[in-house]
Amino acid sequence: MSWYVNGSYPDNTQFIDAPEKPQSELPRSQWRIVPTENDGYPWFDLLPEIPPLNVNPVEQRPYICVYDKRTEKADFLSNGLAILIPTVCDVTETLNGAWTVNMQHPIDPEGRWQLLIISNILKVNDQLFTIKSVDPQFTGNSGSVSVYAEHIFYQLNDGWIFPPAYLTGSSGQSAVNNILSRVDYHARPGAFIYSYIGSSDITTPFRREVSAGCTPVDALIGGGGLAEKCSGELYRDNFYFSINSRMENAKDNAFDIRVGKNLRGIRRTVDMTSMATYFRGYDAWGGWIAFAWDFEAFFGDLFPHYVVRSENFSKPQRADEEDFDYDDWFDNDFTQEVLAFFKRNCKPIIRYEIDLEDVRHNPDFEITVDERFHVGDKGRVYDTRLGGELIIELTETVYDAVRDKYTRIAIGDRQSFVKTASPTLVVDIAVRPVASLTPVLDASGALCYDASGEQIFEERSYQ
């Protein structure tokens, strides 16, 4: 019974050769080795099949959780007070605007709905939202709770910048630091306040006079705020935010959309009723500065001539101070304010609101998306009715956190630019000579420069 090596394989004298023609089947209870079965390994016919191991498991979506309003930052890594089971959870994010959650949660027997109270915090898709309103509705022993919440960035709105204040910054970063340092919470002992970190890559100076007080959010993204005056875009990630000339992490060429004549699932707005191609802003002393759109822009061919408007701007409160420098104010504060007004009020409205559920049944609509939709991404839209291709920005998304899918998106500007210009102010003396050179802007609102890097001006006179 000793083993020996027969060629390259071990052998034993007690082994017998298998018959060429078996006389009967082997019993099923016997282990066997067959080269063509089980990759040549021993196998047993009565042994249950081993389920395969999935080395690429399905990714678990983040839970929707609720936290106490005094939760420390580090504790948001846990599941908080409870994991919620909402039936509806829509997250709406708008460029330089609101970021909100609208939720419907059942009156569950475990009592999770009772944790949905004012100022408690939701975590949806890893972002935190402060509960602002709760509306429970009962039908017998059942019912649901409607919850509205705002991104935790907006807890900055609970602070205040008291007047008089002159918010300044030689750059976007210094402006952000200045604004945050001016916030007064007038906190009582034991108050719980979150701290925030802000950044900016904007290189242009920022100045704003606060005469009636404002929130830090208003100073950052409101009318006359940093984002508006310096053409910045707001990025938010819980307790961090940035206002950059281009939204942080935003992509170019992120989507391609083709819109045909069939507009099912699409609401398109193209409005040029009050667009101005040339705009002049007057100060309280009769000085003025003008801006104009480059007629090479895609909408230039829609007008046979310039569309001209003007607006009067109020005198700054600092004007009565002895050290007020008019020239410095005109070159910086006033010019920045007029340019921001021009970009906000004197351009066409081009907006596409797309219902991603309904548009799937539209044979004339095509969309190609790089990964997922993100506010601030730019892409191409080819519209057969406009007869051309537009480079346009994604300005709003609606995300269904229950089904993990986007249901609606909006591309282009939202606000209406319709505004009636006030009568021109007539003054006896112009403190500053009337300018005759008009800076030229391209379709995106950026200043135009020639090949040598010199800024392009247009010589026009509307005397």
The answer on pLDDT for 308 being more than 60 is yes
- Mean pLDDT score of the chain, rounded to an integer? 82
Verify that 139 and 173 share a domain, yes or no.
no
Q: Place 430 in a pLDDT band, splitting at 50, 70 and 90.
A: very low
What per-residue confidence (pLDDT) applies to 424? Answer: 28
Q: Is 255 left (phi over 0), alpha (psi -120 to 50) or beta?
A: beta
Verify that 182 and 231 share a domain, yes or no.
yes
The answer on pLDDT for 141 being more than 90 is no
Q: What is the mean pLDDT of residues 144-166?
A: 94
CA dihedral 254, 260, 265, 268 (to 10 degrees): 80
Q: Which of 209, 250, 204 is nearest to 227 (CA)?
A: 204
What per-residue confidence (pLDDT) applies to 211? Answer: 78
Verify that 183 and 234 share a domain, yes or no.
yes
What per-residue confidence (pLDDT) applies to 427? Answer: 26
Q: Percentage of the chain surpassing pLDDT 90?
A: 37
Verify that 167 and 236 share a domain, yes or no.
yes
The answer on pLDDT for 382 being more than 50 is yes
Q: Which of 306, 295, 151, 318 is nearest to 235 (CA)?
A: 151
The answer on pLDDT for 200 being more than 90 is yes
What per-residue confidence (pLDDT) applies to 301? Answer: 61
What per-residue confidence (pLDDT) applies to 276? Answer: 82
- pLDDT: is 193 or 442 the higher one? 193
Q: How far apart are CA 221 and CA 100, in angstroms?
A: 16
Verify that 109 and 127 share a domain, yes or no.
yes
Please state the pTM of the whole predicted model. Answer: 0.72
Verify that 116 and 166 share a domain, yes or no.
no
Verify that 126 and 185 share a domain, yes or no.
no
Verify that 128 and 77 share a domain, yes or no.
yes
SS3 assignment, position 306: coil
In a domain, 263, yes or no: no
In Å, how far are 262, 356, 382, 391, 395 from 365, measured between CA atoms?
8, 11, 10, 17, 19
What per-residue confidence (pLDDT) applies to 168? Answer: 87
Q: What is the mean pLDDT of residues 174-180?
A: 95
Verify that 141 and 182 share a domain, yes or no.
no
Q: What is the mean pLDDT of residues 298-317?
A: 77
The answer on pLDDT for 57 being more than 80 is no
Angle at 319 between CA 314 and CA 321, to 5 degrees: 155
What per-residue confidence (pLDDT) applies to 63? Answer: 92
Largest CA distance in the chain: 125
In a domain, 12, yes or no: no
What per-residue confidence (pLDDT) applies to 437? Answer: 52
CA dihedral 257, 261, 266, 272 (to 10 degrees): 90
In a domain, 201, yes or no: yes
Verify that 174 and 199 share a domain, yes or no.
yes
Q: Are 180 and 198 in contact (CB under 8 A)?
A: yes
What per-residue confidence (pLDDT) applies to 423? Answer: 27
What per-residue confidence (pLDDT) applies to 434? Answer: 40
Cβ-based neighbours of 163, under 8 Å, separated by 6 or more:
210, 211, 212, 213
The answer on pLDDT for 325 being more than 80 is yes
Q: Which of 399, 254, 415 is nearest to 347 (CA)?
A: 415
In a domain, 211, yes or no: yes
Verify that 79 and 122 share a domain, yes or no.
yes
In a domain, 129, yes or no: yes
The answer on pLDDT for 74 being more than 50 is yes
Domain boundary, last residue among 149, 173, 188: 149
Domain count, the chain: 2
In a domain, 216, yes or no: yes
In a domain, 194, yes or no: yes
In a domain, 413, yes or no: no
Give the domain extent around 70: 65-86+99-149
Angle at 150 between CA 146 and CA 151, to 5 degrees: 135
Verify that 145 and 170 share a domain, yes or no.
no
